[in-house]
Structure 1
Amino acid sequence: MGTHKVSHTDYNSLSARSQSSGLNALKYVIGVMKTAKNWKDFARVSSVASMIWFQDEGNFIHWIVEEQCAGAFEVLMESWQTMGWQAIKRAHSLLGQKQHWVKFEEKSTEMEMEEWKQRCWGVKGIVEDNSPLVKALVQVR
Structure 2
Amino acid sequence: MTNDWSEYQAWVALGNTPAPAHTLAELIDAALKALADRRWRAETGGVSVNGSPVATDDRSQAKLVGACLAATLDASYSIQWKIADRGFVTLDRDQIIAIAQAVRTHVQGCFDREAALAEEIQAAPDEQALATIDIEGGWPSWA
TM bracket (short chain): under 0.3
TM-score normalised per structure 2: 0.27
TM-score normalised per structure 1: 0.27
Q: Which has the higher strand share?
A: 2
Higher relative contact order structure (alpha carbons within 8 Å, sequence separation ≥ 6): 2
Q: Which has the higher helix share?
A: 1
